[in-house]
Amino acid sequence: MTRAVASGHTTLVMDGVLDATTYRTVRDAVVKAALDAPPLILVDVTALWAPASSAWSVFTSARWLVVDWPDVPIGLVCSHVAGRRMLARNGITRYLPVYANLTAARNAMADDVDPHRRRVREVWPAVPSAVPSVRDFIAHWLHTWSLDEFAATAGVVATVLVDNVLRHTDSDPDVRLETDGATVTVAVTDGSPSPACVRDEDEILGCLSELQIVHALTRVWGNTPTPEGKVVWAVMGPENRL
């Protein structure tokens, strides 16, 4: 696989065999590219061969992992007609568009790119003082983007997610803040593959855990696996402003 980054898109060129031994590698490559949040991802599968047609579902699987966030548009490219027909027969085109070449894909998907999306990212050392520093980072950029009304909610969410990293992993919290002008997302990457989740005992005892607070304060939140660990993210809409 080769990866090329341009100003308007990231292109992944896949080759070789797509089967049970390579399925996760291919899926993770697409997810990783999406988490880097380019405006658009194009995956050229012309030279990729799958002995079993079911293996092509790897691309719909990758798409579902990033559909809530970062929701980067993903398109497939296949230069031969037989390959495009095979993708259609297997239902891939219901979830991902397929094009004959990269130029056609870029032109057709240009309208899917969100010109209002803004992102900032910073990594903090794994020390307790990172938490107030992250809150200041969140407040600064939301003020810069004239979105001060989200600062209180985003600050609470960021505090919980960073605190989780500090308490449950040895990672330096990697914090991203982004907006499309209508919603705000906080995402924190760490090196542990264990997903952030509400503990069963908290639900049984009726305790209000920190992650339940995140659930209450956000439109949607979740975990996205990465080759090195995971990203825990939370999306806030106007209805979540405090």
The CATH number given to whatever domain includes residue 232 is: 3.30.565.10
Q: Mean per-residue pLDDT for 167-174?
A: 95
Confidence at 201, pLDDT banded by 50, 70, 90: low
Q: Which of 112, 136, 157 is the C-terminal boundary of a domain?
A: 112
Is residue 206 over pLDDT 70?
no
Residue 148 shares a structural domain with residue 212: yes
On the CB side of 69, CA atoms within 13 Å amount to 28
How do beta strands 184-190 and 174-179 pair? antiparallel
Report the C-alpha gap between 60 and 96 in whole angstroms: 7
pLDDT recorded at residue 204: 46
Is residue 68 over pLDDT 60?
yes
Report the C-alpha gap between 197 and 218 in whole angstroms: 15
Residue 61 Cα to chain centre, angstroms: 13
Q: Mean per-residue pLDDT for 221-229?
A: 92
Residue 64 Cα to chain centre, angstroms: 10
Residue 167 shares a structural domain with residue 91: no
Q: Which of 91, 112, 133 is the C-terminal boundary of a domain?
A: 112
pLDDT recorded at residue 18: 97
Residue 86 shares a structural domain with residue 127: no
pLDDT recorded at residue 178: 97
The phi and psi torsions of 100 (rounded to 5 degrees) equal -80, -25
Is residue 140 over pLDDT 50?
yes
Confidence at 202, pLDDT banded by 50, 70, 90: low
Confidence at 205, pLDDT banded by 50, 70, 90: very low
Structure tokens at 112: 């899917």
Residues spanned by the domain of 174: 118-240
Report the C-alpha gap between 62 and 94 in whole angstroms: 14
Residue 160 shares a structural domain with residue 146: yes
Residue 100 shares a structural domain with residue 175: no
Is residue 208 over pLDDT 80?
no
On the CB side of 242, CA atoms within 13 Å amount to 12
Q: Mean per-residue pLDDT for 10-20?
A: 96
Q: Which of 78, 96, 112 is the C-terminal boundary of a domain?
A: 112
Residue 148 shares a structural domain with residue 106: no
Residue 181 shares a structural domain with residue 198: yes
What is the pLDDT of the chain when averaged over all its residues? 93
pLDDT recorded at residue 215: 92
Residue with tokens 């405090």: 242
Is residue 242 over pLDDT 90?
no
How far from 109 is each of 122, 155, 228, CA to CA, in Å? 30, 34, 30
Q: DSSP letter for 219, please.
A: S
Per the structure, the count of domains in the chain is 2
How far from 19 is each of 16, 39, 47, 93, CA to CA, in Å? 10, 29, 14, 20
Residue 42 shares a structural domain with residue 97: yes
Q: Mean per-residue pLDDT for 122-126?
A: 97
Q: Give the domain CATH number at 29.
A: 3.30.750.24
Longest dimension (CA), the chain: 58
pLDDT recorded at residue 21: 97
Residue 172 shares a structural domain with residue 230: yes
Is residue 207 over pLDDT 60?
no
Residue 145 shares a structural domain with residue 188: yes
* Lowest pLDDT segment from 6-15, 24-33, 72-81: 6-15
Residue 127 shares a structural domain with residue 79: no
Contact between residue 150 and residue 184 where contact means Cβ atoms under 8 Å apart = yes
Residue 136 shares a structural domain with residue 212: yes
